[in-house]
A and B are shown apart, each in its own frame.
Chain A
Amino acid sequence: MLSRREVGGGRSSLGFSLIPSFPQGSNNKVTVHFINRDGDKITAKGAPGDTLLDVVLNEDLDFDGFGACEGTLACSTCHLIFEDEVFKKLGPVTDEEMDMLDLAYGLTDTSRLGCQICLSKSLDGMVARVPESVTDIRQSKDESA
Chain B
Amino acid sequence: MPPCVLLAGFSCSCQTHFSSKQGTYPRAFGLGLYTRLNKAFFPFADSPGVRFSSCTPKVCIVGSGPAGFYTAQHLLKTHQNVHVDIYERLPVPFGLVRFGVAPDHPEVKNVINTFTQTAKHSRCRFYGNVNVGKDVSVGELKQAYHAVVLSYGAEGNRSMGVPGEGLAGVYSAKDFVGWYNGHPSCRELNPDLNCETAVILGQGNVALDVARVLLSPIDILKKTDITQPALEALVRSQIRRVLIVGRRGPVQVACTIKELREMVNLPGTKSEMVEADFDGVTEALKDLPRPRKRLTELLLKTALDTPGDKEQQRRHQASRTWGFRFFRSPSEVLADADGNKTVGIRLAVTRLEGSGEGARAVLTGEVEDVTCGLVISSIGYKSHPIDPSVPFDTRRAVIPNTMGRVKQATGLYCSGWLKTGPTGVIATTMNNSFDTARSLVEDMESEALDLSSVKTGSEVISALLEERGVKSVSFSDWEKIDSVEMSRGEASGKPREKILTVEEMIQVART
Contacts and interface: CB of A to CB of B under 8 A. Distances in A.
Contacts of B203: none
21 contacts: A56-B40, A64-B434, A65-B70, A67-B37, A69-B108, A69-B111, A70-B33, A72-B29, A74-B15, A74-B107, A91-B21, A97-B20, A99-B258, A103-B12, A103-B13, A103-B425, A105-B427, A105-B431, A118-B22, A140-B404, A140-B435
A96 B15 contact: yes
Contacts of A104: 427
Interface in A120-137: 133, 135-137
A3 interface: no
Q: Please classify the interface of chain B as helix (H, G, I), strand (E, B), loop, or mixed, using the class held by over half of its residues.
A: helix
B245 interface: no
A145 B111 CA distance: 28
A78 B178 CA distance: 30
Contacts, number: 143
B402 A69 contact: no
Contacts of B108: 69, 74-75
A83 B70 CA distance: 31
Contacts of B34: 70
Given A69-B110, A140-B403, A74 B13 contact: yes
Residue among A62, A67, A73, A97 with the highest chain B CB neighbour number at 10 A: A73
A63 B40 CA distance: 8
Interface of A: 51, 56-58, 60-77, 91, 94-100, 102-105, 107, 115-116, 118, 133, 135-137, 139-140, 143, 145
Nearest to B289: A107
B212 to A, nearest CB: 15
Given A72-B30, A102-B257, A62 B427 contact: no
A71 B404 CA distance: 29
B426 A102 contact: no
B392 to A, nearest CB: 14
Given A69-B108, A96-B258, A103 B427 contact: yes
Contacts of A56: 40
Contacts of A60: 36, 39-40, 43
